[in-house]
Amino acid sequence: MQVTATPNTTQILAGFHALSDPIRLQVLELLRTQELCVCELCDKLDVIQSKLSFHLKTLKEANLVCSRQEGRWIYYSLNLAQLVVLEQYLSQYRRFSSVLPARSCQDLS
Q: What is the mean pLDDT of each run of 10 residues along the chain (109 residues)?
A: 64 94 97 96 96 97 96 95 92 69 57
If one counts the domains in the chain, the total is 1
pLDDT at res. 91: 84
Residues 49-72 pLDDT 10s: 999 999 999 999 999 999 999 999
Q: How far apart are CA 20 and CA 22, in angstroms?
A: 7
pLDDT at res. 12: 93
List 73's β-bridge partners, or say none. Answer: 70
Reading across the β-sheet that carries 73-78, which strands appear in turn? 36-37, 73-78, 65-70
In CATH, what number is assigned to the domain containing residue 60?
1.10.10.10
Residue 11 lies in a domain: yes
pLDDT at res. 70: 94
Residue 43 lies in a domain: yes
Determine if the pTM surpasses 0.75: yes
Q: Which residues span the domain enclosing 71?
A: 7-86
Residue 53 lies in a domain: yes
- DSSP state at residue 20: T
